[in-house]
A = this chain, B = another copy of it.
């Protein structure tokens, strides 16, 4: 049997950034190495295109007045015009006016998974050709009545309402028997996998934990068992101490560019205090997270105008609920600047042309331009 490669341990501090040369960095959350090759940004590029543009316009199914183009909502929220207070409606009762909404959540018309209560039975299949139905839910969170493309164009009240929708729908799906994994994400621009431009995010709940997610949680559980600490709590403490990859922090939240980022300009946001589930955020923290996500995306758009980007919300998988002392929720935000090419598809080892120390420095310039008192 083959032995698993053990990365070498040592005492030198991580502050020494290799300038120009290629280096590889190990991600303790995934066990993957990322190759950093800063000189590759100097390559001539015949296909270069920074801005992601729409190629055609369709009648937008997410705009007010087109509510019948989507299935009936499962969640509706309204922001009061007078005092910006939030009002959550129960769509199981008849709505006074189907066009009266600020944020609405609807089942995806083109779901990636079958309904969790569907009649499909788990198929059996031979050893080499294993197959099974994939069940759960696939919902779209329509974040605004306005035909905006990025969450930076939303009122903070709208964005806070969208984050409230994430929290409510995550709680709903977590309570659903059989749901093992929850993925909440946002695709902005065609390069980020969006098919519609009207600002929206998605939630997919599945009855199976993806292999890589399980492996990553197993790493966190092993770290907790061997050290008594949450791996991400340890990482956050180390990042705050190191300061070189910090983007922003206050007493509650932290945003940093991860040491082994697979993608250039990637930022991770989380609570400094240990918390396994995003859904357990209270109203004040939820509002602070939505505000911080908006600021960071605005900095990204200042650095790379018109960029396509994703955001991925990681919360403790319901199928691994005994991992709550080891798991730590996080939101990852990253623009789509590079394409996965043959090497990455072959090796699953990504080549990142930008060191996270350089990325964090760019973000900090934007943060300080807004508030010179910003730490670190």
In angstroms, how far is the closest chain B Cβ from the Cβ of A326?
Answer: 10
Checking B12, B39, B112 against A125 with a beta-carbon cut-off of 8 angstroms, the contacting residue is B12
Q: Flag the segment in A150-158, A211-219, A362-370 that touches B.
A: A211-219
Q: Which residues of B contact A21 (CB under 8 A)?
A: 114, 120, 133
Q: How far does the alpha carbon of A347 sit from the alpha carbon of B128 in the complex, in Å? A: 23
Contact at A54–B47, with CB atoms within 8 Å?
A: yes
Contact at B24–A214, with CB atoms within 8 Å?
A: no
For residue A25, CB closer than 8 A to chain B, the reply is: yes
- 6 further A-B pairs in the complex, CB-CB below 8 A; given A44-B58, A45-B195: A13-B126, A23-B131, A24-B132, A35-B134, A43-B109, A129-B242
Within 8 A of B (CB), among A209-241: 209-214, 217-218, 221-222, 225, 234-235, 238
Q: What does DSSP make chain A's interface, helix, strand, loop or mixed?
A: loop
In angstroms, how far is the closest chain B Cβ from the Cβ of A212?
Answer: 4
Q: Which residues of B contact A30 (CB under 8 A)?
A: 211
Q: How far does the alpha carbon of A191 sit from the alpha carbon of B40 in the complex, in Å? A: 17
Contact at A47–B43, with CB atoms within 8 Å?
A: no
- On chain A, the number of residues with a Cβ less than 8 Å from chain B's Cβ atoms is 123
Contact at A133–B212, with CB atoms within 8 Å?
A: no
Contact at B110–A11, with CB atoms within 8 Å?
A: no
Contact at A40–B110, with CB atoms within 8 Å?
A: yes
For residue A107, CB closer than 8 A to chain B, the reply is: no
Q: Flag the segment in A93-101, A169-177, A290-298, A337-345 that touches B.
A: A337-345
Contact at A213–B131, with CB atoms within 8 Å?
A: no
Those 6 A-B pairs whose CB atoms lie nearest each other, nearest first = A10-B124, A185-B342, A193-B341, A47-B190, A212-B348, A14-B129
Number of identical protomers = 2
For residue A251, CB closer than 8 A to chain B, the reply is: no
Q: Which residues of B contact A222 (CB under 8 A)?
A: 1
Contact at A58–B31, with CB atoms within 8 Å?
A: no
Among the interface residues A18, A52, A217, A222, which one has the most CB atoms of the partner chain B within 10 A? A18
For residue A270, CB closer than 8 A to chain B, the reply is: no
For residue A192, CB closer than 8 A to chain B, the reply is: yes
A-B contacts, 12 of them at CB < 8 A, read A2-B214, A12-B124, A13-B126, A21-B114, A22-B135, A25-B130, A33-B210, A33-B211, A35-B134, A129-B242, A187-B341, A202-B342
For residue A113, CB closer than 8 A to chain B, the reply is: yes
Q: How far does the alpha carbon of A181 sit from the alpha carbon of B193 in the complex, in Å? A: 31
Residue of B nearest to A120 (CB): B21
Within 8 A of B (CB), among A6-22: 7-14, 16, 18, 21-22
Contact at B128–A28, with CB atoms within 8 Å?
A: yes
Contact at A49–B55, with CB atoms within 8 Å?
A: yes
Contact at B210–A347, with CB atoms within 8 Å?
A: yes
In angstroms, how far is the closest chain B Cβ from the Cβ of A336?
Answer: 8
Q: Which residues of B contact A16 (CB under 8 A)?
A: 123
Contact at B58–A47, with CB atoms within 8 Å?
A: no
Q: Which residues of B contact A196 (CB under 8 A)?
A: 44-46
Contact at A342–B33, with CB atoms within 8 Å?
A: no
Residue of B nearest to A20 (CB): B114
Q: Which residues of B contact A197 (CB under 8 A)?
A: 46-47
Q: How far does the alpha carbon of A44 sit from the alpha carbon of B195 in the complex, in Å? A: 7
Q: Which residues of B contact A31 (CB under 8 A)?
A: 211
Checking B37, B55, B213, B323 against A348 with a beta-carbon cut-off of 8 angstroms, the contacting residue is B213
Contact at B45–A210, with CB atoms within 8 Å?
A: no
Known contacts A124-B8, A130-B26, A195-B44; decide if A347 and B212 are in contact (CB<8 Å): yes
